[in-house]
Structure 1
Amino acid sequence: MSILEAIIIAVVEGLTEFLPVSSTGHMIITQALLGIESTPFVKAFTVIIQFGAILSVVLLYWKRFFRLNPVIIFDKSAVTGMGFVQKGWIFLKRFLHKFDFYWKLFIAVVPAGVLGLIFGDQIDSLLENVLVVSVMLVAGGIVMLFVDTWFNRPVENQSISWQRALKIGFFQCIAMIPGVSRSMATIVGGMSTRLDRKNAAEFSFFLAVPTMAAAAGYKLYQLIKDPASAAMLQENIGVLIIGNVVAFVVAIIAIRFFIDFLTRHGFKAFGWYRIIVGVLLIVLLLSGTVSNVA
């Protein structure tokens, strides 16, 4: 992979990671159009540059991302004479309240983490299938056309409960299929719990941090533990750094655009975009212009 190819893929990652259009799908399409061979390093590159994208979320939302809830103050006289179990429960409630934000993220990331460990090889095999990406782009696009109609009654309470977090986490599992879009799945999941578009999108951004960090970290670990892959990684460290920096800068721009556009116009434009790209890609596949294997 040349530096120019790395920059192009990183731009695609930064632009699409937080939009409901499937960043993985677009990187697979880009890779196919550029004729980049799907080597172990290229596969790892498309995952590891997500570090740069998630750092953009941490930067833009750092006040909320690192904010802890105040400690719940209990009347000491109320716990006098309580047993060990009761006191332990009170301590646990205080702990969960203080780290409530991170606790909800943990709940939401567990379903995808478990399924990722169980079906990792199957998921990796799908990452090379351009036809799967094309079909899922179209299917997801159709869903996007009706999302605003299906979930147009947000409730007044927009806080993230553990039930909401868990439901969004299960929706995120759908995004393991290339072309679905993690952002789309989690935003739709959030809106299905009657969050409004803005809050559903922002929780999707927050959830991306542990989810993508875990995926990128695991891929990096797999590379490092194998001597041959570790040597390959060392040889291409400059390409990885450039890719992450580009993804970071572009993702900041994309997030700012997306929140404003989504609040004003909803999802239909993204739905039509997905359908057009998916249909075009299917036509290119049928004509033999693009190979089905990335």
Structure 2
Amino acid sequence: MASQTIVDALLLGILEGLTEFIPVSSTGHILLAGHFLGFESTGKAFEVLIQLGAILAILSVYFARLWSMLVSLPSDRGTQYFVGGILLAFLPAAVIGYLAHDFIKTVLFETPVLICTTLVLGGIVLLWVDSWALNPRYDDVTKFPWKVYLGIGLFQCLAMIPGTSRSGSTIVGALLLGTDKRSAAEFSFFLAMPTMVGAFALDLFKNMDILTAADLPIIATGFVAAFVVAVIVVRGLLNFVSKRGYALFGWWRIAVGLAGFAALAVWG
């Protein structure tokens, strides 16, 4: 990774921040872009570790609300219920991610055709769900039933396949389970925190022995770029999906997937 340029890391960091919290698959975008840029990170760690920038973006935007939750957690039943729901939703991905980590990184991350396929299929699913005349039953992320929290967590496991999208899986799952569009996106934000922290910690632990000092400037560049861009995206996304829905992101996924197929056919 030391041979890669700062410019590559900057571009990939911007791409991470732009795509992490919208349902288009940040990992799929970064892996495809890295493939065509010739970017090879040590242990495929860069692609996961720069997600810390996106995590901190969420923490900065939601800091006041998170602090309020932390203060009230010991005594407030509503806060305890919501935090329990987040942890319940996080549990399936934590277990499967730990057990399948090596297979995901060494096989699925190395298959651009799979990524393009899941981008297109996921786009079709997103368009299909967005076109439904849904009658949402839940609009408050803090009061979803336990079965909804768990169901969203099970849907999140689909994102182990690169190109599927963590946020896309959780948002589609939430919509199918009866939430409205805004609360689906908002819960995806909250669920991202333990999920991405867990992925970051596991990947850092797995790659600690092979990362070198030469890797740090590349990772730091991607991290900072991801943070700045993700803050902008998070601040505007909830209002956008409340008014416009998710169709734009469905078409986006299909366009990127088809462009990826075409590029693979030409350049390999």
| TM-score normalised over the length of structure 2 | 0.90
1:18 maps to amino acid: F
Q: What is the CA–CA distance in structure 1 between the aligned matches of 2:110 and 2:18, rounded to whole Å? A: 21
Pick which of 160-169 and 19-28 moved more.
160-169
Query: Cα distance, 1:236 vs. partner?
Result: 2.4
Q: What is the CA–CA distance in structure 2 between the aligned matches of 1:151 and 1:38, rounded to whole Å? A: 44
Q: What is the CA–CA distance in structure 1 between the aligned matches of 2:77 and 2:251, rounded to whole Å? A: 42
Query: Cα distance, 1:97 vs. partner?
Result: 5.0
> Which residue does the alignment assign to 1:4?
7
- Tell me whether 1:58 sits opposite 2:59 in the alignment: yes
2:124 aligned to which of 142, 148, 151: 142
> Which residue does the alignment assign to 1:81?
none
Alignment of 1:56-95 (within 5 A): 56-68=57-69
2:88 maps to amino acid: I
1:275 aligned to which of 254, 257, 264: 254
- Does the CA-based 8 Å contact 1:13-1:27 persist in structure 2? yes
2:160 aligned to which of 162, 176, 179: 176
Q: What is the CA–CA distance in structure 2 between the aligned matches of 1:123 and 1:99, rounded to whole Å? A: 33
> Which residue does the alignment assign to 1:15?
18
Identity of paired residues, percent?
A: 41
1:176 maps to amino acid: M
> Which residue does the alignment assign to 2:222?
243
Structure 2 gap segments, 5+ residues each: none
1:213 maps to amino acid: V
Q: What is the CA–CA distance in structure 1 between the aligned matches of 2:243 and 2:79, rounded to whole Å? A: 34
Q: What is the CA–CA distance in structure 2 between the aligned matches of 1:237 and 1:36, rounded to whole Å? A: 15
- Does the CA-based 8 Å contact 2:21-2:167 persist in structure 1? yes
1:108 aligned to which of 89, 93, 96: 89
Larger Rg: 1
Pick which of 175-184 and 100-109 moved more.
100-109
Question: Residues 128, 67 of structure 1: CA spacing in aligned structure 2 closer, same or farther, 3 A cutoff?
Answer: same
Deviations 1:55-90 (A, max 9, x none): 111111122223338589xxxxxxxxxxxxxxxxxx
- Does the CA-based 8 Å contact 1:151-1:191 persist in structure 2? no
- Does the CA-based 8 Å contact 1:151-1:194 persist in structure 2? no
Query: Cα distance, 1:107 vs. partner?
Result: 0.5
Count, aligned residues: 261
Q: What is the CA–CA distance in structure 1 between the aligned matches of 2:32 and 2:162, rounded to whole Å? A: 11
Q: 4+ runs of 1 displaced by more than 6 Å?
A: none
* Paired residue secondary structure (1:36): coil
Deviations 1:149-195 (A, max 9, x none): 33621125632232211110000001111111101100111112211
1:109 maps to amino acid: F
> Which residue does the alignment assign to 1:83?
none
> Which residue does the alignment assign to 2:205?
221
- Does the CA-based 8 Å contact 1:47-1:216 persist in structure 2? yes
Q: What is the CA–CA distance in structure 2 between the aligned matches of 1:100 and 1:8, rounded to whole Å? A: 40
Structure 1 gap segments, 5+ residues each: 73-93
The root-mean-square deviation of aligned C-alpha atoms, in Å, is: 2.0
